[in-house]
Amino acid sequence: MKSNEDVLSIIYKISGKLEYEVDKDNIVTIIKKQDHMVQKFFRKLKFTIPEYKKISLDEYASWIFLQIDGKKNVKDLGESLEAKYGDKVHPLYERLLLFLNHIDINCQYIERLNL
């Protein structure tokens, strides 16, 4: 990425293998299967380890997550966030890019479409 315009033109989509649910308040809960071999081993030893881990996103993260559709770029996502929440989301693009990078690189909840 060379410039701010390049960064703002990145388009994301939600990963096809991600399981999530949305409650009545539009809060997203990510559902991750816990099937690491160590977890499976301890389950066989009758330890209580849940099959799934649930991660609830906050109001802002849920709003952005539900806006990611494979068509909107980072600039569009930022504009929709600012239109809904106003000054509460500033510094807008610094926070938004940090969040998107985290759920892309670290969590693999979303994928970049235009590399």
Question: Could you report the per-residue pLDDT of 81-106, keeping only the tens digit for each?
Answer: 999 999 999 999 999 999 999 999 99
For the record, the structure tokens of 94 come out as 């610094």
pLDDT of residue 2: 63
Give the C-alpha separation, 110 to 104, whole Å: 5
Instruction: Give the ranges where the chain is alpha helix by DSSP (H).
Output: 4-8, 37-44, 59-67, 74-85, 92-101
Reported confidence tier of residue 5, pLDDT bands at 50, 70, 90: confident
Q: What is the pLDDT of residues 40-72, one digit of tens each?
A: 999 999 999 999 999 999 999 999 999 999 999
Domain annotation for the chain: domains and CATH numbers: 4-112 (3.90.930)
What are residue 19's DSSP bridge partners?
31
Q: How far apart are CA 63 and CA 6, in angstroms?
A: 23
Residue 115 in this model has a pLDDT that exceeds 90:
no
| Dihedral sign (CA 42, 44, 48, 52) | positive
Q: Is the pLDDT of residue 1 over 80?
A: no
pTM: 0.88
